[in-house]
Amino acid sequence: LNSSMGFAINFDSYNLDDINSVRKITKDYKKEFKNKKGSIEAEKNFNRFIEIYTNFEDIQNKNIYLPYKLSNNSISLQVERYSKKYYKYGLIVQFDEGEYLLAKSNKYIYENFAEYLSKPFQEYLEYNKSDERIISDGRYIISREELNSRIKFYESFVKLYPKFAEEYKLNDKIFPTIDPK
Q: What is the pLDDT of residues 135-166, one digit of tens each?
A: 766 666 778 898 889 889 988 999 999 999 99
Q: What is the mean pLDDT of the chain?
A: 88
At residue 115, does pLDDT exceed 60? yes
Q: Please state the rounded mean pLDDT for residues 48-66.
A: 96
Q: Please state the rounded mean pLDDT for residues 43-54.
A: 96
**Predicted confidence band at 132 (pLDDT cuts at 50, 70, 90)?**
confident
Q: Who's near 18: CB < 8 A, 6+ residues apart?
A: 24
Q: Who's near 11: CB < 8 A, 6+ residues apart?
A: 25, 48, 49, 52
The pLDDT, as a whole number, for residue 133 is 79
In the chain, the percentage of residues whose pLDDT exceeds 90 is 67
At residue 4, does pLDDT exceed 60? no
List pLDDT tens digits, range 33-43.
999 999 999 99
pTM: 0.86
Rounded Cα distance between 172 and 112, Å, is 26
The pLDDT, as a whole number, for residue 123 is 97
The gap from C-alpha 31 to its chain's centroid, in whole angstroms, comes to 21
